[in-house]
Structure 1
Amino acid sequence: MRVWVYLPLLLSMLVPVAAARMARLLRPTAAVRIATTGVTVAALACTCSLTLLSLTLFDDLPPLSAFDDRPELGLPEPVPDWLGLIAVSLLVTGLIRLVRELVRRRRVVHELQAIGSPYAGLAVADLPEPFAAAIPGRPGHVLVTSGMLRLLTSAERQVLLAHEQSHLERRHHRVVAIAACSAAMNPLLSKLSTLVTYLVERAADEDAAAKVGDRTVVARAVAKASLAGPGGPAPALGLHGSNAVERVTAIAAPQAPNRWRATTGVVGLSVVQLLVCAVAIEKFTTLAGTWLGQLVDAGR
Structure 2
Amino acid sequence: MTPVLALVMLALVLPWAAAPAARRLAALLPPREACLVLTGAAALPAGGTLAALIGLFHVPFLASLEQVPLSRTVAEWPAAVPVSAAAGAVLVFQAVLVGRRWYERRSLLTRAWSAAGDAVCDGDLLLVTDPDPQAFALPGRRGCGGRIVVTTGMLRTLGPAEREVLFGHERAHLADRHHLLSATTHLAAAVHPALRSLRPALDFHLERWADEAAASAVGNRRLAATAIARAALAAASSSGPAGRGRGPLLSVGSGPVPQRVEALLRPAPVRPRARRTRAAAVGLLSTVAVSALLAVALAYGLHEYVELAAEGVRGR
TM-score by length of 1: 0.90
* Alpha-carbon displacement from aligned partner over 1:18-73 (angstroms, at most 9, x marks no partner): 1111122110011111221121111101111111122234389796223257x5xx
Q: Aligned pair 1:276/2:293, yes or no?
A: yes
Q: Which residue of the partner structure matches residue 226 of structure 2?
A: 220
Q: CA deviation at 1:163?
A: 0.2
Q: Aligned pair 1:235/2:248, yes or no?
A: yes
Q: Which runs of 5+ in 2 are unaligned?
A: 237-242
Aligned-partner Cα distance in 1 for 2:139–2:260: 23
| Structure-2 change in CA distance of 1:221 and 1:289 (3 Å) | same
Q: Which residue of the partner structure matches residue 247 of structure 1?
A: 260
> Any conservation in 2 of the 1:64–1:291 contact (CA below 8 Å)?
no
| Structure-2 change in CA distance of 1:149 and 1:163 (3 Å) | same
Aligned-partner Cα distance in 2 for 1:81–1:236: 43
Aligned-pair identity (%): 31
Structure with more relative contact order (C-alpha pairs < 8 Å, separation 6 or more): 1
CA-based RMSD: 2.2
Q: Give the SS at the match of 2:122.
A: coil
Q: CA deviation at 1:140?
A: 0.7
Q: Which residue of the partner structure matches residue 13 of structure 1?
A: 16
Q: Which runs of 5+ in 1 are unaligned?
A: none
Q: Aligned pair 1:163/2:169, yes or no?
A: yes
- After superposition, residues 1-300 of structure 1 pair within 5 angstroms as 1-58=4-61, 64-67=69-72, 76-77=76-77, 79-114=79-114, 115=116, 116-137=119-140, 138-230=144-236, 231=243, 232-257=245-270, 258=272, 259-294=276-311, 296-297=313-314
Q: Give the SS at the match of 1:133.
A: strand
Aligned-partner Cα distance in 2 for 1:224–1:182: 33
> Any conservation in 2 of the 1:19–1:265 contact (CA below 8 Å)?
no
Q: Give the SS at the match of 2:121.
A: coil
> Any conservation in 2 of the 1:130–1:228 contact (CA below 8 Å)?
yes
Q: Give the SS at the match of 1:188.
A: helix
Aligned-partner Cα distance in 2 for 1:194–1:42: 18
> Any conservation in 1 of the 2:60–2:73 contact (CA below 8 Å)?
no
Aligned-partner Cα distance in 2 for 1:226–1:294: 68
TM-score by length of 2: 0.86
Aligned-partner Cα distance in 1 for 2:303–2:5: 13
> Any conservation in 2 of the 1:132–1:238 contact (CA below 8 Å)?
yes
Aligned-partner Cα distance in 1 for 2:259–2:78: 48
**Match of 1:3, as an amino acid?**
A
Aligned-partner Cα distance in 2 for 1:104–1:295: 49
Task: Name the stretch that deviates more: 255-264 or 137-146.
Answer: 255-264
**Match of 2:176, as an amino acid?**
R
Task: Name the stretch that deviates more: 154-163 or 189-198.
Answer: 189-198
Aligned-partner Cα distance in 1 for 2:78–2:18: 28
